[in-house]
Amino acid sequence: MSLKQLQGHSIPKLKGAGHTAGGFFIIATEIAGSPIELEELSDQERNEIVKALSDIHCHGLLHEDIRPGNILIQRYHDTFRVMFIDFAFSKSISNKEEPEKEMAILKMMLGLDPTIGNGKLRDSRLT
């Protein structure tokens, strides 16, 4: 629910959800694109991906599973659309350092400058 405002922008639109007869929980969303291929991204597209994660953070949520397979893109003529998927490990932001660390992980993956805060990289994977 905390990401409802982002549906269709930074996350896919939810079409439905429920349990199967076998007890599995399923989610149906709009078709959101294909996983990113890092070597094919332009600088502008990389910045759009950063902005999408920033929008998610502004709604108080950490994704907690940043990897190329969880970032889908669609290209139409002159437009580019990015969607984050798979929020199974997501959690609410509890302090200001958490989104900075997650953003640094994304920026490193995208080949962008990951410096945060006081100019030092503070990546939780390295500590």
Average of per-residue pLDDT across 109-116: 85
pTM of the predicted protein model = 0.83
Per-residue pLDDT, averaged over 21-35, amounts to: 84
**CATH numbers and ranges of domains, the chain:** 33-110 (1.10.510.10)
b/e 72-91 (16+ beta carbons within 10 angstroms → b): bbeeeeeeebbbbbebeeee
Q: Which pLDDT tens digit goes with each residue over 76-88?
A: 888 899 999 999 8
**pLDDT for res 116:** 60
- Please give the full DSSP string across 88-118, using - where no structure is assigned: TT-EE--STHHHHHHHHHHHHHHTS---BTT
Query: What share of the chain has pLDDT > 90, as a percent?
Result: 58
